Amino acid sequence: MRVRDHIGLSFANLWKRKLRTCLTAFGVTIGIGALVSMVSFGKGMQKNVTESFRSLDLFNSLTVFSEDFFTGERFDPDRRPAQPLPSGASRAVLDDAALEKIAALKGVDTVFPDVRIPAIVRFNGKDEFRLVQVIPAKVTSSRMLRFSAGKGYASDEEDSLIISDSLLRQFGVQEPQALLGKKMVISSIGFDFSRLNPANLTAALGGERLPFTTEDTELTIVGVAESQAFAGPIPIQSDVFIPPGVSKRMKKLPFSNIWDLFRAREGRLGYSAINVRLSSPAFVEPVKKEVAGMGLRVFALADQFKEVQKGFLILNMVLAAVGMIAIVVASLGIVNTMVMSILERYSEIGIMKAVGASDRDVRRIFFFESSVIGFIGGVFGFALGWAVSGVINRVVNYFLAKQGVPYIAYFSFPVWLALGAIAFSVAVSLAAGVYPAMRAARVDPVRALRHD
């Protein structure tokens, strides 16, 4: 029997039982639709992370910590050091000298300390508590920061700041452009040594009169940065950025976290971390080695990315498994439809065998019918998954946009997903057709043709 006749015959047979065919194919449609939207969600998330890694230059980034950074491990387990300290290397303080040394290494493009100052940001009569990050002018004009309005500051000394668009919305500002050139007040905390005179010392140390004071610094907004859609241990992440020159002039505490104090060695605190940008990802390994040799801990985001990929593999599998449940139910529907069809067409099968259909012909007739159901279900299932994901994507983005989250395409539909969904649907339907097909092939023509 020709393939073309098989296809024609199966469509004719399915057409004769339109309602049942539609219902069965609809079951497959829902199953494949669920699977497709699940997988495309997993893939979409993975794509977003990969792309933001790439666009933010994170594959070129290293973060250096002082060796004692492990004290933070208890409180921030994500920031585990990437490798053990080589034996013989002595622990080093993460100070300007270390920074200079790292900056001089081959392949290092930019180095800047990770400084975050706890501060109150005041605008429009509203106060927001934030960690203000200090980043050099050079970095503000790199790929690591994206602007929705304005640009980075021109020098490390100018009295400027950059604000994120999500903080902007907290202040009730809708139009970022209108904000450029406006003044904003940063209120930082510093020591007040006058409170440490001997007369007050006991009270100060007892905690009744703390030796701290606040100081206001007024800065001009020069840029509005896009908020990062994905959080994580990435070097540039804050709602307010200021130049190093301003930071130096500001009254502030030399630490942003009480745990930082445990790092202090003979009164020398150093930086909590140094951010390193390389000119190419090829330098990640050699620079890591050099820095480790200096007695410092070094952490590459590229390494973290591998872990992230593993996580996504698991996420994708879990999502696919959820979709599979729907597929299993749909394939039971196919088995049911095909078995019913055999019972109804019992004498027809007998006739076909009597006029020369082989077991294989009969088997294939049923295989073709179930795979046509699978094909139809696969095509419509993909369309359904695509449509539903589109709606979900819109609704979710609509609500998240109100909270200042930038637009994210949560679903991804690569070509292989469309083809794979249809192929998978046909394959599952073929599997569901095995039992009915075998049963049809075994129909005894003599019994099937007995009319009484």
Partner 1 sequence: MGNVPILISNLSKVYSTAKVRVAALQDVSLSLEEGVFAAVTGASGSGKSTLLNLLGGLDTPTSGTIEVRGRKISEMSREELALYRRSGVGMIFQSFNLIPGFNALENVALPLMFAGVAKRERRNRAGEVLAQVGLGARIAHRPSELSGGEQQRVAIARALVNRPRVLLADEPTGNLDSRTSREIVTLLAELNRDQGLTVVMVTHEESLAREFAGRGVRLSDGKVQAEERWR
Q: How far is the CB of 359 from partner 1 (least distance, A)?
A: 6
d(CA 33, CA 425): 10
Find out whether 270 and 96 touch, Cβ atoms under 8 Å. Answer: no
Of residues 125 and 356, the one with the C-beta less far from partner 1: 356
Q: Which amino acid is at 317?
A: M
Stretch that binds partner 1, among 56-64, 65-73, 279-287, 357-365 (CB under 8 A): 357-365
Among 68, 109, 158, 359, binds partner 1 (CB under 8 A): 359
Among 196, 325, 332, 354, binds partner 1 (CB under 8 A): 354
Q: How far is the CB of 447 from partner 1 (least distance, A)?
A: 10
d(CA 130, CA 187): 10
Residue 22-51 contact track with partner 1, rule CB under 8 A, x = bound: ------------------------------
Q: How far is the CB of 448 from partner 1 (least distance, A)?
A: 9
356 part of the interface to partner 1, by CB under 8 A: yes
Stretch that binds partner 1, among 5-13, 20-28, 67-75, 81-89 (CB under 8 A): 5-13
Which tokens is 282 given?
């090829």
88 Rama class: left (phi>0) / alpha (psi -120 to 50) / beta: left
Among 360, 399, 401, 416, binds partner 1 (CB under 8 A): 360
Among 48, 50, 142, 347, binds partner 1 (CB under 8 A): 347
Of residues 360 and 394, the one with the C-beta less far from partner 1: 360
315 part of the interface to partner 1, by CB under 8 A: no
Stretch that binds partner 1, among 106-114, 157-165, 205-213, 444-452 (CB under 8 A): 444-452
E strand or H helix at 102: helix 96-103
Which tokens is 126 given?
């509203």
E strand or H helix at 131: strand 126-134
Of residues 289 and 360, the one with the C-beta less far from partner 1: 360
Stretch that binds partner 1, among 169-177, 184-192, 292-300, 347-355 (CB under 8 A): 347-355
409 part of the interface to partner 1, by CB under 8 A: no
Among 223, 270, 350, 433, binds partner 1 (CB under 8 A): 350
Using CA atoms, how far residue 380 sits from 203, 330, 373, 384, 390, in Å, is 76, 14, 11, 6, 15
Which tokens is 44 given?
């979409």
* Cβ neighbours for 368, distance < 8 A, ≥ 6 positions apart: 6, 7, 9, 10
d(CA 403, CA 36): 28
Among 258, 355, 391, 415, binds partner 1 (CB under 8 A): 355
Stretch that binds partner 1, among 136-144, 244-252, 296-304, 345-353 (CB under 8 A): 345-353
445 part of the interface to partner 1, by CB under 8 A: yes
d(CA 228, CA 224): 12
Which tokens is 130 given?
């934030």
Of residues 157 and 359, the one with the C-beta less far from partner 1: 359
Output 80-85 pairs: Cβ under 8 A, ≥24 positions apart: 81/297, 81/298, 81/299, 82/288, 82/297, 82/298, 82/299, 82/300, 82/303, 83/288, 83/292, 83/297, 83/298, 85/292, 85/295, 85/297
Among 52, 361, 405, 420, binds partner 1 (CB under 8 A): 361
- What 3-state class would DSSP assign to 226? coil
18 part of the interface to partner 1, by CB under 8 A: no
Q: Which residues bind partner 1 (CB under 8 A)?
A: 1-2, 4-5, 9, 12, 16, 347-348, 350-361, 445-446, 449, 451
